[in-house]
Amino acid sequence: MHFFKVIKSIVKPILFSTIFAVAMVSCKPSKHNTSGKNSQSETKVIKTGKPSEDKAQQVINSARSYLGTHYKYGGTTKSGIDCSGLVCNSFKTIDITLPRTSTAQSEYGKSVKIGDVREGDLLFFSDNKGGNKINHVGLVTEVKSNSVKFIHSTTKMGVIEDDLYSDYYHPRFVKAIRIIN
């Protein structure tokens, strides 16, 4: 029995190394054209991945990947996130680093009139109707003639999309900012 254990301990690593080497060689692309055909006539351009999205759509798609994520004060992950963390993470996908709080984010970009907002803009809110102390932020996801949808993280429902012109959010709206030109 001892003899077979010794043989097994020697053969097993060699067998594994051989299989691994064969697998690696078989996956390596060939440098030579063995088909006998002109390789230039068979050259095809293969596009991989999705077509390039514009920056606003990339930010929106990133934010939407958090839909349903629970709210967590100071959170920045899919196990829990707050409103400004959602915005920070979403803009990181296009290599823009924003300040961490909604108040600081509200001072970052260019102010935009409410009637001129577009997808990718940020909306800032106060807890109080008619207040001007910013403590909440959302990202515009869709603009139509009679509605402006935005995504944000709420304390009760987590990451959801709402309408700016709802009875709750419109009276609490403070300002809009454009980060992406």
| Residue 21 in this model has a pLDDT that exceeds 80 | no
Distance from C-alpha of 96 to C-alpha of 62, rounded to nearest angstrom: 13
| Count of Cβ atoms closer than 10 Å to residue 44 Cβ | 4
For residue 49, pLDDT over 60 is answered with: no
Kindly state the percentage of the chain with pLDDT values over 70. 71
Alpha-carbon gap, residue 18 to 14, rounded angstroms: 6
Whether this prediction's pTM lies above 0.75 is answered by: no
Weakest mean pLDDT among 5-19, 27-41, 147-161: 27-41
Cα torsion angle, 10, 14, 15, 17, sign = positive
Name the catalytic one among 32, 70, 152, 170: 152
| Mean pLDDT on 43-72 | 76
Max Cα–Cα distance, the chain, nearest Å = 86
Assigned token pair, 170: 């419109």
Domains of the chain: 55-178 (3.90.1720.10)
Catalytic one of 27, 83, 88, 170:
83
Q: What is the rounded CA–CA span in Å between residue 18 and residue 24?
A: 10
Query: Helix or strand or coil: residue 92?
Result: helix
pLDDT for the residue 10: 53
Which of these ranges, 25-29, 115-119, 136-140, has the smallest mean pLDDT?
A: 25-29
Residue 147 has pLDDT above 80, yes or no: yes
The C-alpha atoms of residue 170 and residue 172 are separated, in whole angstroms, by: 5
2 is catalytic: no
Local confidence band at 7 (pLDDT 50, 70, 90 cut-offs): very low
What is the pairing mode between strands 173-178 and 122-126? antiparallel
Q: Which one is catalytic: 27, 70, 88, 136?
A: 136
Respond yes or no: is residue 152 known to be catalytic.
yes
Is residue 88 part of the annotated active site? The answer reads no
